A and B are shown apart, each in its own frame.
Chain A
Amino acid sequence: GDSVTQMEGPVTLSEEAFLTINCTYTATGYPSLFWYVQYPGEGLQLLLKATKADDKGSNKGFEATYRKETTSFHLEKGSVQVSDSAVYFCALRERTALIFGKGTTLSVSS
């Protein structure tokens, strides 16, 4: 079945550092891809998404590009802030539901 693999954390960065969180997927066809963020004690928030190959999703300084050739959707941000500390989930749309990766915890220190 479809699956998502994302880099394990935790990822610890200093403020203003560059962030990359790797995500690769296995799927039949070309699913929609998503990044969700979960701040401590809160629910899931959609961060960005892409629906077809070469699409770039972006939001709040975060970006991810749908790479069909490498089946990847890596999350990047040029300069992280303390407020970006959270758990990040990569996900894909299988026909009937979303399939999630295991999540990557990001901790940013000042």
Chain B
Amino acid sequence: NAGVTQTPKFQVLKTGQSMTLQCAQDMNHEYMSWYRQDPGMGLRLIHYSVGAGITDQGEVPNGYNVSRSTTEDFPLRLLSAAPSQTSVYFCASIFSPQGGTEAFFGQGTRLTVV
């Protein structure tokens, strides 16, 4: 049981380049989400998914795409990177045992766009 695996840990992109941040979980959780963390802004929700084939926008979705073809994987795509997307990105999965909440986070990806 590896939990939530997020890759890469660090990435530098040039403006206009594209990339995909990978997120995988092996716990069969329905809910997965992507956040970005910026100083003084906390963690803001980018996109989330409630199951395979179902995604929706969070608070700050512009410039990012997601898909959920399987329960395990929830990649985040930057189609044309901008300096404003310099941030630390976290992927999370959530499940609800007996009405409670257990959340698991990846280790984060530090992205710099130059």
CA distance A100 to B92 in the complex (A): 13
What is the count of residue pairs linking A and B with beta-carbon distances less than 8 angstroms?
54
Q: How many residues of B contact A (CB 8 A)?
A: 24
Complex contact A96–B33 (CB within 8 A):
yes
Q: Which residues of B contact A89 (CB under 8 A)?
A: 42-43
- Cβ of B94 and Cβ of A98 under 8 Å apart? yes
> Would you give the 0/1 interface string for B31-74, flagging 1 where the beta carbon is closer than 8 Å to chain A?
10101000011111100101000001010000000000000000
Binding site for A on B (CB under 8 A): 31, 33, 35, 40-45, 48, 50, 56, 58, 90, 92, 94, 99-101, 103, 105-108
18 A-B contacts (beta carbon < 8 Å):
A32-B100, A34-B101, A34-B103, A43-B105, A43-B106, A43-B108, A44-B90, A46-B103, A51-B99, A96-B48, A97-B31, A97-B94, A99-B45, A100-B35, A100-B42, A102-B41, A102-B42, A103-B42
